[in-house]
Amino acid sequence: MLRGFATISFWADDVEAAKDWYAELLGIQPYFRVAGPDGGAAYYEFRVGDYEHELGLIDARYRPGGPPAGPGGAVTFWHVDDLEAAVERLLAMGARPHEEITERGEGTGFATASVVDPFGNVLGVMSNPHYLEVLAGAAPR
């Protein structure tokens, strides 16, 4: 069912400072930005490594469920072939909904969902066209 790492997301109270810190750390600028309702950045995305794994930085105002009780907040999204079926199976196996299926950019083919497994861990699943491009033989950078 799980096909491979698609995107890891980190929350930041100051997404601009986080973008600058990760740009310096990685030696690259983000390739993608999504504006929030106020026009400021809500999301930045970097493509990292030989297979362009994605690191997303999200403004903490958009965190589902509010701030965590302690350090953390990262959700690893695994690419799946059928997002709805994957979520249904996870729920049938005892997971609880964390974030419903959400389209990430109209018409882009990107959609995410997450559940809390029976042990309290957040598990993300994703429909991700970029992952499929890499799998189909797109040359690594």
The number of angstroms, rounded, from the C-alpha of 1 to the middle of its chain's C-alpha atoms is: 18
End-to-end Cα separation, the chain, in angstroms = 27
User: Is pTM, for the whole model, over 0.85?
Assistant: no
DSSP per-residue letters across 12-68: ESSHHHHHHHHHHHHTS--SEEEE-TTSSEEEEEEEETTTTEEEEEEEGGG-TTSS-
CA dist 126 and 84 (Å) reads 10
pLDDT confidence tier of residue 139, bands split at 50, 70 and 90: low
Q: Is 73 exposed, middle or buried (0-12, 13-18, 19+ CB in 10 A)?
A: middle
- Residues 2-43 have pLDDT tens digits of 887 789 888 899 999 999 999 998 999 999 999 999 999 999
Dihedral pair phi/psi, residue 38, rounded to 5° = -85, 0
- Residues 47-102 have pLDDT tens digits of 997 778 899 999 999 988 877 776 666 788 989 999 999 999 999 999 999 999 99
